[in-house]
Amino acid sequence: MNAVRHTVFGLLLTSSTAWAGAPLAQTEAAAWLQKIAEASRHISYEGVFVFQQGGASQSQTLMVTGRPSGAHMESRLLTLDGNPREVRCSQQVSFTLMVNGSQQQIEKRLNRRHFPDLLPENAAELANWYSISLGTPSRAAGRDCTTLEITPKDVYRWGYVLCVDKNNAFPLRAVMINDEGQVLMQYSFADLKLGTQPKMDGHPMPAMPEAAKPATGSPIEVTELPPGFNRIAAMRRQLPNRKGEVEHWVFSDGLTHVSLFLEPVQKPVLPIKGQSKQGMINLIKRQVGDWQATVLGEAPWATVESIAMHLEAKPATP
Amino acid sequence: MTIKTATAPLASQAEEDALSALLDGELSQTESLRALARIHSAPAERTRFRTYSLIGDSLRGLPDTHPDFTTQVMAALKNEPTLLAPMPRRRERRPALWLAAAAVSAITWGLWQSLPDQPIPAPMAANAPRPVDVEPYLAAHQDFAQAVIAPAEMQFTQVSFVEPQR
C-alpha cells in the first residue's frame, strides 16, 4: 500500500510540475533560498497584500511596512477590512493591537515574523528538506517575478510556490500547497514600493510584561522528531482567554511550525483529531502519562501524528 | 490526505472498514452476511462491533441506553496501551460528526467578520469534542504560524482506540 501511495504521489507531483524546470542542484537551491530570505529582511518596503485561505471567499487585505533596523526589521501590519487590527514588530517586542468599538486590547506576540519574511535566517538549510525548481515567470504587484516551486522531499511539510521580484528576489507572492497541488493559503502583494523610507506611524510600542517564561523541566520527552525538525522554543505561558499556565513548545524545520501544549490532566482525556478545511491545520489532543498533550500546526497529518505519538512520560524521579 | 494509521496490519484495516460499512448499511446482502459471520466467529471482532455501535449511538446523540459506555471507554483508555487511529472513513460517512468552529476562532483573532454561516450539526453528543476546547491552543499557536492572521476553521472528531492485533 505504501508503495502504491508513493507512486500515486510521485505521479501527481510529476504531472503538476511538468511545465516546471528540473529541480535545481542543492547548492543552487540553497543559494536561492538564502537570497530570498535576505531580500525580505534587508529591503525596506511599503505595500498592500491580500491574504487568502480556503478560496477567494475568505480574504483579508493588509497594509504592511517594514524597514531594516540594525540586524533586524521593524514592521507594521494593519488590516484594511474587517475588525481593525494592528501588528507591530521590532527587535525587542511584537504585539497585536485590537480595537472593538471603544475597547482596545493588546496582546503580546511571541514571534516577530510575518509575510513577506517567511524564510528563516538559515534558509539555505531548507534545501535539505525541499527541492526547488524554477517555474514559469509571472507578474505580481506590477512587477516581473521569478517563480520558484518549493516541493517537500517527504510527507512532513507542505509545499510552496514563491514569486519573487526578478531583480532583487523580494517575495511578492507566496502560495502554500498540499501534496495534491491544491492551494491551502496565499499571500500576494497587490501594491508594493521597495527601497522607500516608510514611516512607522501608529500605536507607539508599549511596555508590556513578559507574556512567557522559560520552560521548566517537563516530565514529557519527545523521543523522535520528523526529519529536519528542531525544538525552537519552549516556554511557560498563559493561553488567550484562559486561566492557568501551560508549557508551550514549538518545533520547526524553518518553514513549518508545530506547537505542543502540555498541562496536567484534570480528567481523562479523550483523544481528539482536528483538521481545518483541506487539511492545512492538523491537531491531536491526547493523554501522555498524567499530562494532556495538544499538538497542532500548519503541517500535514503525518507530522502532527508523528510528534504526538513520540511523546513519552519520563519515569518519575524519586 | 492519506491518514496513516499507526494501528495494524492491512488485513485488520480492511476488516475494520467492512465493519464500519456494515454499521452504515453500505454492504450488499452477501457482504453483510459474510461480515456478520466473521463477527460471530471472532471474539475480537465482536468486541469491536459492540464498541463501534456504542460510539456510533453516542455520537448520534441517541439516549444513553448503555450507561456503562463512558466507564468502558475510560477504562479502555486507562488500562490498554493501545494505539490511536482515526475512525475509518468517518468524515465521508457521517458529516454530522464534524463540527464547524469558524465562529469560535473568529472571536480571538476577529479578523474574519463575515464568515459564511455554518450550520452546527445537531444533536451533539455530550462528550463530543467542542471547538471551544481547543480554540485557545489555536490562538496561542498563531504567534508562530506563517499565517499571521489565519482563522482556523477546524473540524473535530473523536478518535477511537482500537485494540492492537494480538
Q: pLDDT band at residue B23, thresholds of 50, 70 and 90? A: low
Average pLDDT over residues A183-194: 93
Contacts of B152 in chain A (CB under 8 A): 276, 281
Q: pLDDT band at residue A17, thresholds of 50, 70 and 90? A: very low
The highest-level CATH class for domain B10-82 is: mainly alpha
Candidates A89, A107, A90; CA nearest to A98 is A107
Average pLDDT over residues A155-160: 96
Per-residue pLDDT tens for A201-233?
A: 666 666 665 666 777 777 899 999 999 999 998
Is pLDDT above 70 for A140? yes
**CB atoms < 10 A from the CB of B60, how many?**
13
What residues have CB less than 8 Å from A147, skipping those under 6 apart? A134, A135, A136, A137, A138, A161, A162, A163
Residue A239 to residue B139, Cβ atoms within 8 A: yes
Contacts of A272 in chain B (CB under 8 A): 129, 133-134, 156-159
Q: What type of residue sits at position A151?
A: T
Is pLDDT above 80 for A181? yes
Cell of A70: 540594525
CA distance B77 to chain A (A): 8
What's the confidence (pLDDT) of residue A279?
80
- The region of weakest confidence among A42-46, B27-31, B61-65 is B61-65
CA distance A195 to chain B (A): 24
| Alpha-carbon distance values, A5 to A8, A23, A254, B6 (Å) | 5, 22, 27, 16
Contacts of A100 in chain B (CB under 8 A): 110
Tell me the angle at which helices B102-109 and B131-141 cross, rounded to the nearest 10 degrees: 40
For residue A296, give the 3-state DSSP assignment.
strand
Contact indicator for A109, A208 with CB cutoff of 8 Å: no
Domain boundaries, chain B: 10-82
Question: Is residue B140 less than 8 Å (CB to CB) from chain A?
Answer: yes
Per-residue pLDDT tens for A249-282?
A: 999 999 999 999 999 998 888 888 888 777 888 9
* This prediction's pTM: 0.68
What's the confidence (pLDDT) of residue B26?
65
Taken in order A272, A265, B7, B60, the sign of the CA dihedral is negative
- Beta-strand pair A59-69/A212-214: unpaired
Q: What is the pLDDT of chain B when averaged over all its residues?
A: 51
Candidates B49, B127, B87, B83; CA nearest to A270 is B127
Rounded CA-CA distance A165/A187 in Å is: 14
Q: What residue ranges define each of the domains in chain A, with the CATH number in brackets?
A: 2-194 (2.50.20.10), 212-313 (3.30.200.100)
Rounded CA-CA distance A18/A213 in Å is: 49
Contacts of A183 in chain B (CB under 8 A): none
Rounded CA-CA distance B128/B155 in Å is: 12
Q: pLDDT band at residue B158, thresholds of 50, 70 and 90? A: low
Chain B residue with Cα closest to A301: B3
Question: Is residue A244 less than 8 Å (CB to CB) from chain B?
Answer: no
- Beta-strand pair A257-264/A94-100: unpaired
Is pLDDT above 80 for A248? yes
Average pLDDT over residues A152-161: 96
DSSP A294: E
- The region of weakest confidence among A101-115, A171-185, A286-300, B3-17 is B3-17
Which residue among A233, A237, A268 sits closest to B77, beta carbon to beta carbon?
Answer: A268
Average pLDDT over residues B95-107: 27
What's the confidence (pLDDT) of residue B147?
52
CA distance B30 to chain A (A): 26
**3 state SS for chain B:** CCCCCCCCCHHHHHHHHHHHHHHCCCCCHHHHHHHHHHHHHCHHHHHHHHHHHHHHHHHCCCCCCCCCHHHHHHHHHHHCCCEEECCCCHHHHCHHHCCCCHHHHHHHHCCCCCCCCCCCCCCCCCCCCCHHHHHHHHHHHHHHCCCCCCCCCEEEEECEEECCCC
Contacts of B103 in chain A (CB under 8 A): none
Q: Count CA atoms within 13 Å of residue A213 on its CB side.
A: 6
- The region of weakest confidence among A4-18, A156-170, A186-200 is A4-18
Rounded CA-CA distance A96/A94 in Å is: 7
CA distance B103 to chain A (A): 13
- The region of weakest confidence among A249-253, A305-309, B45-49, B119-123 is B119-123
How many residues in total does chain B contain? 166
Residue A259 to residue B139, Cβ atoms within 8 A: no
The ipTM of this complex is 0.81
For residue A55, give the 3-state DSSP assignment.
coil
Residue A51 to residue B115, Cβ atoms within 8 A: no
CA distance B62 to chain A (A): 19
Q: Enumerate residues 58 to 87 of chain B having a beta carbon within 8 A of any beta carbon in chain A.
A: 73-74, 77-78, 84, 86
